[in-house]
Amino acid sequence: MELLQLNDSLRDCQRCQLSKGRTQVVFGTGNPKASIMFVGEAPGFYEDRQGEPFVGAAGQLLTELLQSIGLERADIYIANVIKCRPPNNRDPLPDEIDTCKPFLLQQIQLIQPKIVCTLGNFSTQTLLERKVGITKVRGQVIQLEHFVVFPLFHPAAALHQNNLRVPLKEDFQKLKLVLEKITNTPTLPNTFSPPTLSKSTTLSTETPTEPPTQMNLF
């Protein structure tokens, strides 16, 4: 399946309760061959209206941060764990995450990025499959089986808590160095099969027996 086909297959998704209140499914956008992918939490008001992730104030900040390290939105791919806006921007529920996670994994499989930047707690915990606070792991290079995870504060959090802006900017500068190092190494094998997709798909949220490995690239 190609990325466009996966997108088309989700346009009328009815797998969870979020389908009742959304304007449209917000699949993802950007370079389908990107070396770096960003994963947020869920669409907000503007994303739900425009059908594109990170188009509000948090998206503007993200664009500025990307430009600070020489990247444009067209260079990356960006998506969310949840593809439909939760009512009143509430936190995603566990069953909603379980329903949408297989599609995120398929996006990663199809794009094959070398590094996935998780923005905030929900995307970080979803991909690491363990409960961990973003404050403890942000700016770390974490090697999973098929790609590297680089957790970052969510831009929306930095807009609401001004004291997070400096560490977020610092982590983006570190990300620039990490990306340079990783893109100069051989591509990691990306042969995993995504979970079987169905209306009743659920994934385990238990802590993995083998925890992710933090890499020391410096």
Q: What is the rounded distance in angstroms from the CA atom of residue 65 to the CA atom of residue 107?
A: 23
Q: How confident is the model at residue 216 (pLDDT cuts 50, 70, 90)?
A: very low
Q: Would you say residue 215 lies in a domain?
A: no
Q: Report whether pLDDT(207) > 50.
A: no
Q: Would you say residue 90 lies in a domain?
A: yes
Measured between alpha carbons, how far apart are the two ends of the chain, in Å?
A: 37
Q: Would you say residue 207 lies in a domain?
A: no
Say how many domains are in the chain: 1
Supply the pLDDT for residue 45. Answer: 95
Q: Would you say residue 218 lies in a domain?
A: no
DSSP structure class, residue 189: P
Each residue's pLDDT tens digit, 110-161: 999 999 999 999 999 999 999 999 999 999 999 998 899 999 999 999 999 9
Q: Report whether pLDDT(187) > 70.
A: no
CATH number at 65 reads: 3.40.470.10
pTM, whole model, 2 decimals? 0.85
Quote the domain boundaries for residue 115: 3-183
